[in-house]
A and B are shown apart, each in its own frame.
Chain A
Amino acid sequence: MSARITAAVFTSHVPAIGVAMDLGKTEEPYWQPLFAGYEAGRTWIQDNPPDAVILVYNDHGNAFGLDMVPTFALGMSPSYEPADEGWGPRPVPSVQGHPALSAHIAHSVIQQDFDLTLVNEMPVDHGLTVPLSIMFGQPEQWPCPVVPLAVNVVQYPVPSGRRCLELGKAIRRAVESFDDDLNVQIWGTGGMSHQLQGPRAGLINSAFDNAFLDRIVTDPEGQAGIDHVEYVREAGSEGIELVMWLVARGAMADLAGGPPPQEVHRLYHVPASNTAVGQLILQDDAT
């Protein structure tokens, strides 16, 4: 049996969520409702543990400064250390990579005309570690290896929703041609609506967010046609991170001619710090 993508997890990666866990604040009234909402996803992943996760996220000026701005950067390393983003590194385990799967994805996806940048050394910031904390809690070690895929959504122009969806389709083909028997999940992270800069900072658009949550399940091809400027205008300048969810969505079976995924969990919560929080779990081959 070769490798297969069995599920996609979509989640915001707000740094304050990681801070709340790291400082033991999850039972405080501000945070308790959100973390109560995360229980369903944590139970699901205990019942559906992946052998590896392809984690789509963006770096926030930590692994990459402005000296290099790769549009799609694939981690190739056996391990990645949490970045010191200015507050000191998060007290979470090192992230173990999966170099063989990374190498296979690179080989396959570049030959499908996606010019990935291959990264052999990089720290990983909250964009990658907060989703792990949300899904896995606070283990001594993360329970599975992770293949990081960093998408530039910091400096414009960023890749289009269409490009992201098509990349997901290419990743699916890559995984399915990997000979190891591997249960792979793909996670798309970032968003939902938020704006961290300028006098318009604090923008939240729950109508946009909930429509996005609906449409990424039922009409990802349509959602992929939405322009950048609509995300920025409607969901805030940092809401553009939502295009990364389309990478994960593109890797699901229905876009390769299979049946539609089963929605097993959805959460929407405002606020975490400056941000609207979303979480969605879609499962293929659910039995």
Chain B
Amino acid sequence: MALDKPYLDIPGTTVFDTDQAAAGYALNQFCRSLMDADNRERFHADERAYLDEWPMSEDQKLGVIARDLNGLITLGGNIYFLAKIGASDGQSYLQIVSSMTENDAAGHAEMMLNGGRSPDGNRYLHEWKDRT
């Protein structure tokens, strides 16, 4: 019997479960390597060469180079690990997080100052069915 995953019907949200962790293991461990200043320097000197040291899929490597965080989450990335890419770029969490939304960084900051994204209309997948 398949395990129950009651969180799959939450829109715009990927819960980082053990299946996601398995898919993203090398990707997330690469991200964690950026905790080291020397590794950050090597990564920025030649991103492709640094990524090729890791047993990641081609899609994961291209996603890192493009800073496509939504794509990387689909491929098993976890936000706390992925945030280390943005951290190594000198970005704040606000900037990193905004890149996954419909807003730019300023628009996201403005939304947060106005109380954030309401839960209303954002609880269930069916509430997002008309969104592209």
CB-defined contacts of A157 to chain B, threshold 8 Å: 17-18
Contact among A155, A193, A196, A206 with B93 in the assembled complex (CB-CB below 8 Å): A196
Tell me whether A197 and B100 are in contact (CB under 8 A): yes
Q: Is the CB of B35 within 8 A of A62?
A: yes
Verify if A138 is at the interface (C-beta below 8 Å from B): no
B75-127 residues at the A interface, CB under 8 angstroms? 78-81, 83-84, 86-88, 90, 92-94, 96-98, 100-103, 108, 111-113, 115-119, 122-124
Tell me whether A99 is interfacial, beta carbon within 8 Å. Answer: no
Q: Size band of the B side of the interface?
A: 35 or more
B69 nearest in chain A by CB position: A197
- Structural contact, B21 and A66, CB atoms closer than 8 A: yes
User: Does A244 sit within 8 A of B, measured CB to CB?
Assistant: no
Residues of A within 8 A of B37 (CB): 84, 88
Which of chain A's residues 253-282 have a Cβ closer than 8 Å to chain B?
Answer: 270-271, 273-274, 276
A85-B116 contact in complex given A61-B80, A197-B13, A233-B123, C-beta closer than 8 Å: no
Question: What residue of chain B has the Cβ atom nearest to residue A202's Cβ?
Answer: B117
For B117, give its contact among A62, A155, A203 (CB under 8 Å).
A203
B129 to chain A minimum Cβ distance, whole angstroms, is 14
A156 and B97 form a contact (CB under 8 A): no
Query: What bracket does the count of chain A residues touching chain B fall in?
Result: 35 or more
- The answer to whether the Cβ of A140 comes within 8 Å of any Cβ in the partner chain is no
Separation of A15 and B117 alpha carbons in the complex (Å): 20
Contact A156 B18 (CB under 8 A): yes
> Restricting to A1-59, which residues have a CB under 8 Å from any CB of B?
15-16, 19
In the complex, A60 has a CB within 8 A of chain B: yes
Closest Cβ–Cβ distance, residue A152 to chain B (whole Å): 11
Q: B28's contact among A16, A65, A203, A270, by CB below 8 Å, is which?
A: A65
16 A-B residue contacts at CB 8 Å? A16-B92, A19-B92, A61-B31, A86-B34, A86-B87, A154-B16, A156-B17, A193-B116, A199-B12, A199-B70, A229-B7, A232-B15, A270-B115, A271-B115, A274-B116, A276-B116
Q: Which 9 A-B pairs have the closest CB atoms?
A: A204-B116, A86-B87, A200-B12, A199-B12, A86-B84, A156-B17, A197-B79, A271-B112, A60-B80
